[in-house]
């Protein structure tokens, strides 16, 4: 069954929902989940991991090919196409032979161009839909490159899955969303729908709604949410899975806002956009003036043998500026990123002055 999501997105009720267990554990388990979610939410795709790339060798790594007919039969029973993750050519061959409708490439695979190319070569000549998760590190071009490899193999029905990026002991997320990366993908490849995976971003059930709502407000096409009839007993990723009943509640709580502006809203928005553009022009002019001063400072440092970076001074600036975050009603993270960007541009200008001809 050809999904053809890219060309037929309008026929699917937004959000396009992918649901099912993190791992296919048994024939009874995946059938039970499929029947429950079919009644509760009727997702567009039934997901289930057959092969599970795990960090530790003694972890559960999936039931393997024996689980493919379990997943296929469950999907047929409830009339929902199925999808599973593939990481190499052997997985592709087994999945296609079994009749899997949609393949997805996981984050640990997307990070490896050799592995992506192997999968692209294996599906060349088919019309299968392929979903590609972002690489585990926040590298937009690596994600884009994966899509380009599939396009070169003749695969046109491509979908992106944003599942966040690996980080060490983040207080809020299992995988930090870094929303600017999927937004960047939308800019680079607007023809590719983007689906959010709140399960892997949050890593906890309590965070799913917040992440899912953010994705909808950013006009993502859909959601992939791990669903299990008995989440606490799941063989993998138990903490982030929810029951079909909880999935129904989550979907009902989502606020779906208009994706475009119409009617009376246009006039108001256009006025505000004009004001923003004027302020942006002023900001850029001020930045230009700031860099002119930086170049003058660079001239002085060159004449007096002073290094570009003055660590103690830079530390004081950071402390002073960040202390005003609440007063300015700006987040500390935003202020820090702006200051870092300005500082790097200032260093670039001073480098040009102090070391002309060097890059």
What is the mean pLDDT of the segment spanning 317-324?
94
Encode burial over 142-172: b for 16+ CB neighbours within 10 A, e otherwise: bbbebbebbeebebebbbbbbbbbeeeeeee
How far apart, in Å, are the Cα atoms of 70 and each of 64, 246, 256, 270?
A: 11, 24, 34, 53
Position 359 in a domain: no
Q: Are 223 and 105 found together in one domain?
A: yes
pLDDT category of residue 267 using cuts at 50, 70 and 90: confident
Q: Are 201 and 317 found together in one domain?
A: no
Residue 268, pLDDT score: 87
Task: Answer yes or no: are the C-beta atoms of 49 and 236 closer than 8 Å.
Answer: yes
Instruction: Region of 237 please: left (phi>0), alpha (psi -120 to 50) or beta.
Output: left
Which of 137, 71, 64, 139 is closest to 94 using CA atoms?
64
**Range of lowest pLDDT (21-35, 182-196, 261-275):** 261-275
pLDDT digits (tens, 9 = 90+) for 99-153: 999 999 999 999 999 999 999 999 999 999 999 999 999 999 999 999 999 999 9
Q: Are 101 and 9 found together in one domain?
A: yes
Q: Are 127 and 172 found together in one domain?
A: yes
Residue 10, pLDDT score: 55
Q: Are 243 and 308 found together in one domain?
A: no
pLDDT category of residue 260 using cuts at 50, 70 and 90: confident
Which of 131, 26, 115, 19 is closest to 70 using CA atoms?
26
Residue 261, pLDDT score: 77
DSSP element (H, E) containing 175: strand 175-176
Task: Answer yes or no: are the C-beta atoms of 205 and 239 closer than 8 Å.
Answer: yes
Q: What's 343's domain CATH number?
A: 1.20.59.10
pLDDT category of residue 3 using cuts at 50, 70 and 90: low
Q: Are 249 and 268 found together in one domain?
A: no
Cross-strand partners of 131 = 104, 159
Burial bucket for residue 27 (CB in 10 Å: 0-12, 13-18, 19+): middle
Position 180 in a domain: yes
Position 259 in a domain: no
Position 258 in a domain: no
Q: Are 87 and 234 found together in one domain?
A: yes
Percent of the chain past pLDDT 70, that is, above it, reads: 96
Choose the final residue of a domain: 253, 276, 295.
253
Residue 56, pLDDT score: 81
pTM of the entire predicted model: 0.88
Percent of the chain past pLDDT 90, that is, above it, reads: 87
Domain containing residue 164: 5-253
Asked, as a colleague might, if the bond just before 15 is cis with ω within 30 of 0, I would say yes
Angle at 160 between CA 203 and CA 5, to 5 degrees: 120
Residue 7, pLDDT score: 64
If you count them, how many residues does the chain have? 359
Q: Are 113 and 19 found together in one domain?
A: yes
Residue 342 has pLDDT above 80, yes or no: yes
pLDDT category of residue 262 using cuts at 50, 70 and 90: confident
Position 243 in a domain: yes
Residue 107, pLDDT score: 97
How many CA atoms are closer than 13 Å to the CA of 177, on its beta-carbon side?
21
- Domain count along the chain: 2
Q: Are 347 and 323 found together in one domain?
A: yes
pLDDT digits (tens, 9 = 90+) for 204-215: 999 999 999 999
pLDDT digits (tens, 9 = 90+) for 284-307: 999 999 999 999 999 999 999 999
Position 48 in a domain: yes
Position 144 in a domain: yes
Q: How many CB atoms lie within 10 A of CB 281?
A: 10
Choose the final residue of a domain: 198, 224, 253.
253
Residue 57, pLDDT score: 85
pLDDT digits (tens, 9 = 90+) for 83-111: 999 999 999 999 999 999 999 999 999 99
Q: Are 176 and 81 found together in one domain?
A: yes
Choose the final residue of a domain: 253, 274, 299.
253
What 8-state DSSP symbol labels residue 356?
Answer: T
Angle at 144 between CA 110 and CA 209, to 5 degrees: 70
Mean per-residue pLDDT over the chain, rounded: 94
Q: Are 235 and 269 found together in one domain?
A: no
Q: What's 55's domain CATH number?
A: 3.20.20.70
Position 282 in a domain: yes
Q: Are 67 and 93 found together in one domain?
A: yes
Q: How many CB atoms lie within 10 A of CB 336?
A: 14
């Amino acid at each position: 069954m050809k999904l053809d999501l890219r060309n037929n997105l309008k026929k699917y009720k937004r959000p396009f929902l992918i649901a099912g267990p993190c791992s296919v554990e048994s024939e009874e388990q995946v059938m039970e989940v499929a029947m429950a979610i079919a009644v509760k939410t009727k997702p567009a795709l039934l997901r289930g991991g057959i092969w599970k790339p795990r960090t530790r060798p003694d972890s559960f790594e999936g039931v393997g090919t024996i689980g493919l007919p379990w997943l296929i039969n469950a999907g047929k029973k409830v009339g929902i196409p199925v999808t599973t993750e593939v990481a190499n050519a052997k997985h592709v061959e087994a999945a296609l032979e079994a009749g899997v409708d949609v393949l997805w490439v996981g984050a640990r695979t997307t990070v490896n161009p050799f592995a992506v190319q192997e999968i692209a070569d294996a599906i060349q000549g088919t019309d299968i839909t392929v979903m590609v998760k972002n690489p585990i590190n926040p590298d937009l071009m690596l994600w884009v490159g994966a899509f380009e490899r599939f396009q070169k193999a003749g695969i046109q029905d491509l979908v992106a899955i944003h599942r966040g990026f690996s980080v060490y002991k983040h207080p809020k997320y299992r995988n930090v969303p870094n929303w600017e990366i999927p937004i960047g993908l939308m800019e680079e490849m607007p023809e590719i729908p983007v689906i959010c995976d709140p399960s892997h971003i949050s890593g906890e059930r309590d965070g799913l709604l917040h992440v899912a709502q953010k994705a909808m407000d950013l006009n993502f096409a859909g959601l992939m949410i791990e669903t299990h009839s008995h989440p606490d007993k799941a063989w993998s990723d138990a903490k982030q899975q929810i029951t079909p009943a909880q999935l129904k509640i989550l979907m009902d709580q989502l606020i779906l806002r208009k994706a475009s502006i119409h009617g009376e809203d246009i006039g108001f928005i256009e006025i505000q956009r004009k004001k923003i553009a004027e302020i942006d022009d002023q900001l850029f002019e001020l930045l230009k003036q700031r860099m002119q001063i930086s170049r003058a400072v660079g001239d002085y440092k060159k004449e007096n043998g002073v290094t570009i970076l003055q660590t103690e001074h830079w530390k004081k600036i950071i402390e002073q500026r960040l202390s005003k975050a609440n007063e300015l009603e700006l987040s500390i993270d935003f202020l820090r990123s702006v200051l870092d960007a300005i500082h790097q541009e200032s260093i670039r200008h001073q480098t040009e002055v102090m070391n002309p001809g060097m890059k």
